[in-house]
Amino acid sequence: MLTYNDYLHKVILKNAALLAVSLQMGAIIGGAGITDQEHIYIFGKNIGIALQLQEDHQEAFSEPSENLTRHRKTSLLLKTYEWSTPEQRSQLLALLSLPVTDAMPGLAQLYKNCKTGEWVLREKERLQQVALQHLANISVPAVNKRPLQELTELLLNK
């Protein structure tokens, strides 16, 4: 089975890199120095990962959607598999053999029992704080950073 670290690598290469590189390109075009370019890249990478973790959590604990036709390997699923007891792992594998809409309530309970739902929210918060620290380290006036801070709060606290 895919590991969480494999999943994280995939998230970085897809979602997080897109945001990070876009922000870095803006910094380059705006004439930012190398250090500020690195800070904005790391800011974007961490926000991108945090957004994916938030999406994973929302999907896991929301009402099943008819649009979900297969089980996605998410941060919660992979950490639950990693942290579960043999009995919980058997339950997890049995749930994954069911249609998505039938399995979601049982998966959500398993995520709660294994505390992966709590973990993913803490990890999202940690990544957000790392990102905001890198944003704070950029050598531009605070007023110029405020729109990115506000957007980050809006996106990650919904």
Whether the CA torsion 113, 52, 63, 158 is positive or negative: it is positive
The structure's pTM equals 0.92
Q: Which residue has the higher pLDDT, 103 or 65?
A: 103
pLDDT digits (tens, 9 = 90+) for 90-120: 999 999 999 988 899 999 999 999 999 999 9
d(C-alpha 34, C-alpha 42), whole Å: 12
- The residues spanned by each domain of the chain are 4-156
d(C-alpha 80, C-alpha 46), whole Å: 22
CATH dotted code for 4-156: 1.10.600.10
What mean pLDDT is predicted for residues 74-84?
Answer: 95
pLDDT for 101 equals: 86
| String of DSSP letters for 46-102 | HHHHHHHHHHHHHHHTSPPPTT--S----HHHHHHHHH--HHHHHHHHHHHTS-HHH
pLDDT digits (tens, 9 = 90+) for 10-51: 999 988 999 999 999 999 999 999 999 999 999 999 999 999
